[in-house]
Amino acid sequence: MKFLPTQLPGVLIVEPDVYRDQRGWFLETYHVQKYQEGGLPLPFVQDNCSSSVRGTLRGLHLQMLRPQGKLIRVIRGEIFDVAVDTRKGSPTFASWVSVALSGQDFRQIYIPPGFAHGFCVLSDVAEVEYKCTDVYVPGGEVTIRWDDLRIGIQWPIECPILSSKDAAGKSLDDLWDQLPEYPA
């Protein structure tokens, strides 16, 4: 199992060991001791799952009242997954990193608290599952515009399918007073 750093400190790509033979494959999708040794904080307290059609873009979401770290994996299909550093004062503020995740490559991404998360669907359908380090609190989240020019994400789609919440997202500048502070 590999835990690969990205250009954003704390954001990790996880490449699990996959055991394949004539019957198919087997892998551990989570092992508390291995993941802790790999640098992921604990515990995970909530699991979420979504199914989305091609062209759907979910995000960019940031939990404020109960900040969440998220361990994301794709069960079926393929997504373009994005993490954005939203911590005021961070040397990487407004920087983003992306990774393609699929049900075929089994890779995962860990996104720590203080980072916004979003993804778009590249396959006909994608089923995404993620573990969270805190519970979701309705009303405790902000939505950042998927196309915020200050962030400048190079999404692989031009006209995404958005929820009404995501379509009404605000820019980082408009959310400035609500964004988390970078630890000193």
Residue 7 maps to which CATH number? 2.60.120.10
Residue 39 lies in a domain: yes
Counted domains in the chain: 1
Active-site residue (options: 31, 35, 61, 136)? 61
Active-site residue (options: 35, 110, 117, 130)? 130
Residue 183 lies in a domain: no
Residue 181 lies in a domain: no
Q: Using the predicted structure, report yes or no on whether residue 52 has a pLDDT greater than 80.
A: yes
- Domain holding 12, by residue range, is 2-174
User: What is the pLDDT averaged over residues 155-162?
Assistant: 96
Neighbours of 42 (CB within 10 A): 11
pTM above 0.75, yes or no: yes
| Catalytic residue flag (residue 61) | yes
pLDDT for the residue numbered 41: 84
- Band the pLDDT of 66: cuts 50, 70, 90: very high
- Band the pLDDT of 37: cuts 50, 70, 90: very high
